Amino acid sequence: MTIDLPKDWADRLGGGLADFYRDLHAHPELSFQEHRTAEKVWEALAPLGLEVTPGVGGTGVVAVLRNGPGPVVWLRADFDALPVQEQTGLPYASTARATNPDGKDVPVMHACGHDMHTTVLVGTLQLLTETKKHWSGTVVAVFQPAEEIGGGAAAMIADGILDRFPSPDVVLGQHVGPIPAGVIVYKSGVVMAAADSLKLQLFGHGGHGSQPESTVDPVVMAANVVQRLQTIVSREVSPFDPAVVTVGYLHAGTKDNIIPDDAELGINVRTFDETVRSKTLASITRIAQAEATASGAHKEPALTTTHSFPATVVDDTVMQQLAAVFRGHFGAEHVIENPQPVAASEDVSLFGTTAGVPTAFWFWGGYPQETYDESARTGRPVPTNHSPLFAPVLEPTLSTGVEALTIAALSRLNTKR
């Protein structure tokens, strides 16, 4: 059984939440650098009287709301940003810059909506706190760092989050996206792809561009590897098993008449099945080694994993129950089941998988109808997550997100009239 939310909650809390969101959006921070963001979360939660623990998994924050006996529900939001130069033109657009892990100065933007996720979770805790007489149980709010590099959930688990805080009976999360505002989209089973980011180093033997016979050219080696990698999906993976292999960068050399000693490739793999994933990764290794041998390289290639996300798997029973709750609250026309998974990736399911409990995860919309009308008129696509133009409209995005996460939590707790 669920309960009705206070009808005036948005009038009372919405302005403060909107200000909180605009502040986060204007001050984004890269993965594992979210010190200011964590401090702002702490400040926002201080008046609620929760048990708040900072520094979990580096920069993560965990807040515990205890309200008598009952289930333990984990609510998760991520709060890191991306190295993107914002182009939204918003009055609160980010002008922030930071130093990335490679030591380079980069622009920073909340181009994936994690500022909205964090704001929504703060609002959800505010609502759950003021409705405590209507429910019992424990809510654990997980403000997670470093989702963008697939390291935040693992870092919090390694830091003992499952032992230091009440163990979950269910893990709930949501993601804002280029969907009409006020709409919720869900799927059970495999919802998002596994993703592996790899760095491949190929070693040749450099020399003068006029004397290629005295060299082993790593640029040619790299070019052949790029071409051959495309045959993994087209010739080694079944047409009924989706997979993507992308070479996102190829770095080699400094001057046109110098054959360099080495070349580096950045490779990204997306799969939905563990067998396909293992086969694809093994094929990348085989192709790199074979090309090095064919080129006469004197050193084996080096292949390292830089980031890795598991597939996001959503429990069917829990998700269908939540979908029914959403339909009852928002109306059936605003709740849509998506038959297809998406090739983007998330690390939220690590919490549920490690704890051995179900995970539910859904998407909600951030764009008004006018955005879609303009796209149809101009032919320009609606900006997606990670775009420098990604900018969810504040309302009804914020209120929809808060209400969805709150009623989802209440549906898993012990509720009473």
- Which residues are annotated as catalytic? 80, 147
CB 228 within 8 A of CB 379: no
For strand 184-186 and strand 335-337, is the pairing parallel, antiparallel, or unpaired?
A: parallel
Place of tokens 């688990």: 157
Peptide bond into 180 cis (omega under 30): no
Distance CA 156, CA 352 (A): 13
* Three-state secondary structure call for residue 415: strand
**Identity (one letter) of the amino acid at 405?**
L
Tell me the C-alpha distance between 154 and 348, whole Å.
9
Instruction: Dig out the tokens for 51 from the structure.
Output: 């048990």
Annotated binding site: 112, 114, 148, 175, 386
DSSP conformation letters of 68-117: SSS-EEEEEEE---BS----S--TT----EEE-TTS-EEE-B--SSHHHH
Q: What are the binding residues for Mn(2+)?
A: 112, 114, 148, 175, 386
Cβ-contact 202, 225 below 8 angstroms? yes
Q: Exposure string (b/e) for 203-217, b if CB count within 10 Å is 16 or more? A: bbbbbeeeeeeebbb
Shortest CA distance to 200 belongs to which of 284, 289, 265?
Answer: 265
Q: In what order do the strands lie in the sheet with 262-271?
A: 243-252, 262-271, 194-203, 302-309
